[in-house]
Structures are given as structure tokens and as C-alpha cells.
Structure 1
């Protein structure tokens, strides 16, 4: 089902219905670009996260796909309801004010990404004309604070004499000191005693400034003129009284509070996709993604709140929003099934190719259970929508069902019980959930959302670091390592220098601890190290083994030192 601003309310209601009966949901997103991608491996997952966070707003989500999947016991089949949302980053304006816009959005387009989307039928006209807006929690709080502050600032006359401003400042100080005292003393609302009494200035300008201040200062304070004062006097006697039962309205006047209520209506319309995201959060269903680290950073930033500085805080945030996240790319590694892995490797990174390849490989089995599309969700029964976010979310759901059905060999009812279960009671889910693959990172190939620990323990535990030096060693090593890794249960990452004839090869066990036959693969790292050492001997390259922990710490120290030099250098 395609959703734009034209059918937004209907689409939102359909999502609510679909999610209420779902066993799990899958998501996918399309962006205006992927941002800067370093050719050098990051040292830690935090470094990868820093790179994503640095330009998270530059290349926003412009299409969000959601697929709700549930098992129909009566029909004994899986039913899928995919949704495709066009998203538009909109600036927030408030009509008839002197301080537009309240939030200005600017973003970038990557030429290759836009060409890719256009080739696959992305409708940019529909995005700009009918895309649904969004407003995260952080942006909304900033807008409210900015708007309230500017409303108050408008009360102060632009042209005020120094002596009049000094009088008003002194008066404000006295009133605020009095207010601080009476609020702390717990003065009752029915007290008849005038709490504060003063005589105004004889200047009509200064009296006007005082009245304007009192009208807008605090709704818990009322003021009256003394009816028995000399009416011929230019100065006036004013009495203030505190009313704790009236509540606090941010110190705004009645007209200003009305404008703030109008702002609430505008912000409610601008929340858009965030309202949808809140529905997914409240459902607490398993969230399925494919290679979803980047996607989750983007959607959380746009549709929930600004990203925290550390990946540790980000993991805690995401785990709180979605207690069970399943990444199908990571799942393929954990299951360590030859058929699944070969299907995904041969198909490359394309979801459609991966699903189609896996379908063919599993066509002879009875476990390849695929979700069915019905009624208004039948658009994706053909493959004409490849790389549309809604279709890719549907493919992600298919990929999960194919892999889990093949691995467990369970019929649909039992399979539904596995995928619908909670993490606490589901041993199968707990083995691979909340693990997200991380690319181009030296010290880890995945992160664990369920722990605050740094994601290097599974890498340093039993990992090996080799320092190789020699002419053309980096280029040749990259070619050979790719071939060796495809046949090994270990994983390899490399870093090299463009100016020095050297490279570092880091080897870890990235897959499960047993192979497809149930045998231990603890020997995989040693076997791969042996192959690389033999390769170095053949090319007459020097090869030295380094301690992983020391190597990691040395790289960290080097990065911190480099950062300090950049910070301390004169501009």
C-alpha cells in the first residue's frame, strides 16, 4: 500500500490494524545518498558510528518501507501487509509571525544514489509534492523553546530609552524576588493579605511598561490598583496577589497562549512519520532488517530523536525502543548454513537477488514458506518494484522466513511460535537477535544491542593480527584474502598504508562456533593464519604476529594523538 499526504490518515489506520495482529515487522529505507565513505577501515564501531552521525541529516530517508507479517492459523499461511511511505524533509513555518521559519531543513543529493533510484522507478515528483513530513522529539522541543522565547521577546519595545529600561529592569527584579519568596512560603490562594504593594512611576511610558510586564509575567499573579488612592496623582498604587491554584502557563499572555495552541496544531501535522514510528515502538514486536545498522541510525534520528554521541548510548536507546532486532545478514552468518551463505554471496548485496537465489536453492524442500499478499497489498506480487522501500521490506520478511524455516525444518504453526515468541523464553531467537553487522571496521564485524560493553570482546577473543611488509603486499593480499575467506569459517579485515609497503591483517571468528555439520570450527583462525603465512613466504614478504589487545590500544592511542594535533593546531 502506497502512502502519501493524500491518504495519510487512512494509511496510518491501516498500519495500526496490520501491526496489532502481526508476529513481526520488517523495515527498509531509501536515502538521498549514503554520505562520505572512508576507504580506510575504522578502528572501532564507535568510529563507524561517528561517521554516520556526522552527516546523518545531510542524506535523509525519503522513502520508508514497513511490512507487517502474521501467521493465519485457519489458512495455515503467512500473510504480509507491506506499506511504502514517501517522506519529505519539510521546513516548519508558522503563519503570520515575524520569525519564520521555526525549523529550516537543508539536505544533499548524491548523484549516483539519485540516478540509481530513478532507474528503479522512484517518483521524485511524488516525494516533493506529496511526501509525508516528520518531526522528531528533539526538533519539536527546540521549536517550542524557540517560539516561546521569541514570543516573549516581542513584548519588549524595540526603541526604549535607557532610563525607562533601567526602571523596568529594577521593577522586574523586585517582582521576581517577591515571587520566589511567596512560592517558597506556600501562601494560600484565599489569603486576604496583599503580598506585594508598590507605587508606580509618574511617567506614563514607564507605567505602560509595568502593566505590559504584569499582564504577561505569570498567570498565578493578579494585580489591581488601589481604589482608595488619590485619583489626581499621576503615580498609582498597585497590589499583587499570588494564586497557586491557577497553574503555570510559561508566563505567557492569553493571546500568546492562544498562539501556542495554534503552534501545537501545526506541530501535530508536521510530526507525520514520527506518529507512525511511535506505533511501531509501542507494538514491541520483533523488528527485522537487512544489514540494518545504517538504516536504524537514520530512522531513529529522523523519526524519534537526535542521535547520542556514543554508540553505547545509541545501543541502549535502540534496545529500549525495539527489544528484539533481527538482522537477516547477521542471521545468515550465525546459522552458518552452506546453502544460505552461498545464495547470499552469489547474489551480492541485492535483496531481490538473494531471495530469488535462496528460493531456487530451497525449491525442493517443504520448508520454503513464503508470505502471501492479498487485496490492496497485492502490488508486490510481481518484481517490478525492486528497490522500492516497501517492496524491500517485504523481501526482508521473506528472507527471514526462508532462512529460519530451512534451518529449523519446522512446519508453519511451529515456525510461527518460534518467530512470535519473546526473547526471554525463546532460545532460538536469543542466539542471533540484537546483532547488527558493521562494515569497514577493523576490530569487529558486528555489534550487540543488548549490552553496553564495547563490541571488541568477540573479536579480541582468539583473534589474530598479522603485520605484513613487502613490495605490493597490500594489493596482492586483498585479492588472496577474499578467496581464502570464502572457504573459511573465519573472517578477515585489512588496513594498509598508501605510502608504505605494509598492511595489517586481522582474523577473527565471525560465524558460529560450529560448522554446518555440527563440528567445532575453532581451528578456522589457525588454518587461515597458516595459509597467509605460506603466502607471505612465497612472495618473500615479512610476516609478524601481533597481540590483538596491544594492537587495538596502539591504534586508539594513535587516533587520539592525531585528534589532539588537529585540535591544537592553529587555524
Structure 2
């Protein structure tokens, strides 16, 4: 399901509530992102990068390139139908914020990324015409602070140029004469400049001089003049309340897609992705704010927000050697399609059309299927073995199975078709997940993996490198 701005932001729309409810009831949520570019690996003379260096490289990429699409797929087992119901959503992200906030975002595109996405039918115009808006937590704070100052009339004084001193003197005299007039013609006065023309700078000066010299007056900016009226505290309170309500409404609209991210975080739902390390970095930058300076700090924050994460890239390569091609998402999906169990179904409202390759929602659905079938395959090999070596042996068997299946047509394998018969996804706190969850594959580095759930002596997360 592709979610556009009109679907998402309607005041009477149930869509966001439905998405949040799907997250709350999900056993896990698979995610995928599409980017405007990918940071190239930095060459290190004579050796591979280490994890700390790779994090800084990916951090730089997340600060330069943007998330164009955010895909999630909620997964819930339906006991009546004996199948896993998948609900994939694709969210195009709109880069433009409310013009009143004057908060520009700089967008950077990598030519090769544009070509790749274009070749896969990506609609760049959709981002601007119908993309869902968003504010990170950091951006929301900036906007709220700015709005609070504007609503409260808190403006910094600006320098008064010598050429404007005579203009301001005439403004003060005009206002004082209006105040002193016992029977003014109107209950307001309009202030403009020479020849009935006033620019933005002069408007700021009028606001400034009235604040300083006439606190009993209120200024209101108009297109060609500043209107000044006498302060009415009751009316001011009403106007202030209306402004705050309007501002809060606009900010809530602007937060937009971040509500989905916040629901994932608040629910602490297990997060599943393929090659997840980079996606988590981009998610943090997009919906939280500035990235932590070190990989250790980043890992601690991610583990706090998402206590369970599963990287299907890591699970598929957890033991033994496997080529990069054999462990990419689509190849894994094609390989594992031979497994008949568990049953996996798309919800009727989430059917996919044509040209869905490299669509974030579709790829999140594929990731969900891969996890279900990987773990089913692993469980079928783990059996009832209790000895410590059983888990390692089962992981080796699963990886060997994936490698072998990639060498011939899996549709002809009776053994593959029987794998996982009647096995279901185990709870994430069961022994099945030992050594599989909270491991992120980072190929091309010395360590190759980040482990998120090791506890140090002080009870905090210690990153294993």
C-alpha cells in the first residue's frame, strides 16, 4: 500500500490509527529504505575499515543524502487461517516543510542513485506532490521554539540604520498624536513609509519601536502597512489561544510520518531489516536528529529504543562462508521460496502491483518473508538438541542449505519443500534467537558484525567490536 499525503493527513482519516494499531499487534515489523545516494567506502591503506571508521562514513552519508522512501511491513499470525498476515506500507517522504517556518532542507542526489531508481520506475515527482511530510524530534523542537517566540511577539531587536532615524521619529510622533487625541477618527492607525511605501526592514523597525515605547499598543503586519491598535487584554488572550492552537495543529501535521517511527519505538516492536546497520543510521538521522559522535553511543541509543533487532543478512551468513551475491535480499527470497512453511499471506488491502522491485514497502515485505523462512529452516535443524553445540550445528546447517539451494532450481527439492513443516516463529526471548538477534552484518570491515545486546559492568550496552 502506497501512502500519500492526502491519505495520511486528512483530519478524518483512519489510516494513521490503523497503521499504529497494526504496529501494536505485530509480532515484528520489517523495514526498508530508499536513499538519494550511498556514501562510498573510504579506502584505508593496507587494511579493511574497522566498525568505528565505517560508522563515521555512514554517518557522513546520512548527513548528506536523504531517505526518499520508508517501507514497513507489519506481521501478525492469524490462528484461524494458520498464516502470517503481512501488511506492507510504502511512504514517500516530502522534503518540504511549512513555508512559515522558513526551515530549508538541502537535498543531495547521487547521479548513479537517480539512474538506478529511475530504471526501477521510481517517481521523484511524487515526493513533492504527494509525499508525506515529517519533522525529526530535533526539528520539532526548533520549530516549536520559533513558533513560541513568534506567537508571544518575542523578536530580537535589529540595528537601526542612520537613514531610518527620521522615519522612526515620524512614526513615534504620529503614534503619540493618535494616543493623545481624545476623539480619534478610528480606533486604529495605519503606519506606512514615505510615499505610502514600506519595506520589510521598516516594518521590523515599527514593530520594534512600538514594543519599546508603547507597550499599551499592539502591532499587526499587513501587506502595505503596519496597523496599530490599543491593547485589549481579553481579546489578546483569545487571539493568543487561537494562534497557539493553529500553530500546534500545523506542527502536528508537519510531524507527519514521524508518528509511525515513534509508534515503532514506543511499542518496542522487534525490527527486522536486511543489511540493517545503514538503515538504522539513516532512520535516526531522519526522525530523531543529529547522529551520536561514536558508534558506541549510537549502538546504545538504538538498543534502548529497539531492544530487539534482526538483520536477515547476518542470519543468512551467521556461520560459514557465503558469497555476497547469494546473501542479497532478492536471491535469498528466491532461494527460500521453496520452503512451503510457514504460510505467508498479503492482507487483501495490501496487494502489490507490477514494477515493485526496489519499492521500500515491497522490499520490507520480502524481508519479512525471508526472516520467517530463515528461522523456520533454522528451527527444523535445531530440533530438541539441548547441548551448546546444537545451536552452532543448526546455524551451520541453515547456511549450508542456503548456499546449496542457490546452486540449482529449489523448486525440484523435496527436502526443501518439507523444511519447516508446521513450525512457527518462536518468541524473541526464546533460545532459538541466541546468537541471531541484535547482530548486524557490516561486510568489508575487520569485525564484520556489530553486537548490540552485551551488558557491561554498569548495566549499560557495551558494543562488541
TM over 0.5: yes
The 5 Å alignment of 1:346-425 reads: 346-347=325-326, 349=328, 351-359=329-337, 363=338, 368-379=341-352, 384-409=355-380, 414-416=423-425, 418=426, 421-423=427-429
Aligned partner of 2:253 in structure 1 is 269
Deviation at 1:85, TM superposition (A): 0.9
- Per-residue CA deviations over 1:31-83 (Å, capped at 9, x if unaligned) read 11113432336643222111222242321111111101111111111111111
Aligned partner of 1:448 in structure 2 is 451
Match 1:283 to one of 232, 254, 267: 267
The 5 Å alignment of 1:135-150 reads: 135-149=135-149
Counterpart CA distance in 1 for 2:210 and 2:345 is 75
Counterpart CA distance in 1 for 2:54 and 2:34 is 20
Contact 1:327 1:433 in 2 (8 A): yes
User: Any idea what SS the aligned residue of 1:3 has?
Assistant: coil
Matched pairs, number: 354
Deviation at 1:133, TM superposition (A): 1.0
Counterpart CA distance in 1 for 2:259 and 2:131 is 15
RMSD: 3.1
Aligned partner of 1:511 in structure 2 is none
The 5 Å alignment of 1:108-123 reads: 108-123=108-123
Deviation at 1:158, TM superposition (A): 6.3
TM-score by length of 2: 0.68
Contact 1:352 1:386 in 2 (8 A): no
**Cα separation, partners in 2 of 1:145 and 1:369, compared to 1, 3 Å:** same
**Cα separation, partners in 2 of 1:59 and 1:324, compared to 1, 3 Å:** same
Contact 2:452 2:462 in 1 (8 A): no
Aligned partner of 2:155 in structure 1 is 154
- Per-residue CA deviations over 1:323-359 (Å, capped at 9, x if unaligned) read 10000011112255xxxx76x744463x222210232
Contact 1:335 1:407 in 2 (8 A): no
**Cα separation, partners in 2 of 1:256 and 1:439, compared to 1, 3 Å:** farther
Match 1:34 to one of 25, 38, 46: 38
Match 2:438 to one of 425, 434, 453: 434
Aligned partner of 1:80 in structure 2 is 86
1:325 is aligned to 2:309? yes
Higher relative contact order (CA 8 A, sep 6+): 2
The 5 Å alignment of 1:54-69 reads: 54-69=60-75
Counterpart CA distance in 1 for 2:123 and 2:25 is 31
Structure 2 residue ranges without an equivalent (≥5): 166-207, 219-235, 384-419, 455-460
Counterpart CA distance in 2 for 1:291 and 1:208 is 57
**Cα separation, partners in 2 of 1:213 and 1:155, compared to 1, 3 Å:** farther
Counterpart CA distance in 2 for 1:255 and 1:374 is 47
- Per-residue CA deviations over 1:226-246 (Å, capped at 9, x if unaligned) read xxxxxxxxxxxxxxxxxxxxx
Aligned partner of 1:24 in structure 2 is 28
Deviation at 1:450, TM superposition (A): 1.9
The 5 Å alignment of 1:485-500 reads: none
Counterpart CA distance in 2 for 1:89 and 1:208 is 36
